[in-house]
Amino acid sequence: MLLMKRMRLRELGVRIGELETGRWNAITDVTGVKVGHKTLVKGEGKLVPGKGPVRTGVTAVFPHPDNIFENKVPAAVHIVNGFGKSMGLPQIEELGTIETPILLTNTLNIGIAADALIEYMLLGNPDIGIKTGTVNPIIGECNDGYLNDIRGRHVRTEDVFQALETADSGEVEEGAVGAGTGMSAFEYKGGIGTSSREFAVSKEKFTVGALVLSNFGTQKELRIDGIPVGNELSCRQEQRQGDGSIMVVIATDAPLNDRQLLRIAKRAGIGIARTGSIASHGSGDFIIAFSTVNQEKTSSNEPIRETKTLKEDGAVLEIFFQAAVDATEEAIINSVMKAESVEGRDGNVREGIPLEEVKEILKKHGRDG
C-alpha cells in the first residue's frame, strides 16, 4: 500500500478558526519576513560523541530585508515555562526591540550560533562597538539529543551563514529541516512549522504569521482542532518524549508597540495549549513577537519619534489575539504532519505521524472539509 505523501493540515480539509490565511499560509506572508534553513544529516548507527550521527541544523528568521541593526523592529518576549537556554531575550524585554535576525538551533549550539551571528552582524555593520553600542544576538533552542549527537555541536559558523544568506520570502520548508531536523513532537517526528492569518481592521489589511520549532508532548496529549487524535491513534509510541520544548516566532505588519506585542505573544501560548501541551516542568516554551513597522533607526539623532500605534481597544486587538492563537496552533500541527520519519543515533527513530489514520480520525469527527 502506498503511503500518503506528507501534507499540511489544510490539505486534509481541516481549517482552524474562521480567519483566512495568507498566500503561503506562512510567516513569510508578512511582507519582508524571510526564512532560511541549513540542514545537517550525516552518519548512522551507534553514537560516537563528537562524531555523530548528525541530525541537526539551524533556521534563520529575518524581520525585514534591510539592515536590521540600523532598522530595529519593535518586539516582545513571553516565557510560558523557562527551562531553556535562549540568548538575547532580556534585552528585548528591556528595550522592546530586535536588532538581529532570529536564529533557532539545538541547545548546545547556542554559543556557536551566537558567535556566528555576531560575526555576521559585524561584517555588515563596521560601526558596531566603535561609533555605536554592541549587538544583541537572538538565539532560540530545543534539545534534539534523542536523534542527534548533540555533544558534537555540529552546527558551525559556515552553516549559520548559509541559513542567513539563503533566507527568502515565499513558501517555507517545514518538518525535519533546519533547526527541526532532529526534533520530536508528541513522540512523532516534529520540527519546523508555519501558518498565517489575514484580516481587515477598518478596511486596512493586516497579517499575523507564526513559525514554530516544535519539540514537545506525548502522543496521548496530541489534539488537532480540538479532537484527541493522539488517544485514538492505534499505534502507541514506546519512547516517551519527556518534557520537551517549543520556540514560537510571531510576526505582524500592524503598527503595534512592544507592550501590545507582548499581549499577542501571550495569546500564542494558548495556541500551544490547544495542541495538548501542559508546559511541563522541564519544558522551555518561548515566544518572540515582532512588528515590521515603526522601525527604530540607530542613526537617528532625534530625541522624539512620531509613530502610529493601533488603538488599545478590544474590538481592534482581539482579532490579532485570535490570529496569533490560530496561526500558532496550525503551525505546530503542520510541523508534525510535514515531518518525514528520521532514524538517528543508536538507531533511535521518530516516525512521521501516520497521516492516513489521522485523516480517518478527523473525518470521523466531522473534520474533513
Catalogue the active-site residues. 245, 283, 285
Look up residue 95 and give its DSSP letter: H
Helix or strand (DSSP H, E) at 323: helix 314-337
- Cell match 540542514: residue? 39
Q: 3-33 burial, b if ≥16 CB within 10 A, otherwise e?
A: eeebebbbbbebbbbebebbebbbbbbbebb
Q: Can you read off the three cell numbers belonging to residue 367? A: 473534520
- Cell match 502610529: residue? 308
Rg value, the chain, Cα: 20
Q: Phi and psi for 59 in degrees, rounded to 5?
A: -125, 135
Question: How does strand 138-142 pair with strand 102-106?
Answer: parallel
Task: Please spell the DSSP secondary structure of 2-46, one letter per residue.
Answer: PPPPP--GGGGT---SSSBP-SSSSGGGSTT-EEEEEEEEE--BS
Residue 340 CB coordination number (10 Å): 14
- Which is nearest to 341 in space by CA: 164, 194, 168, 147? 147
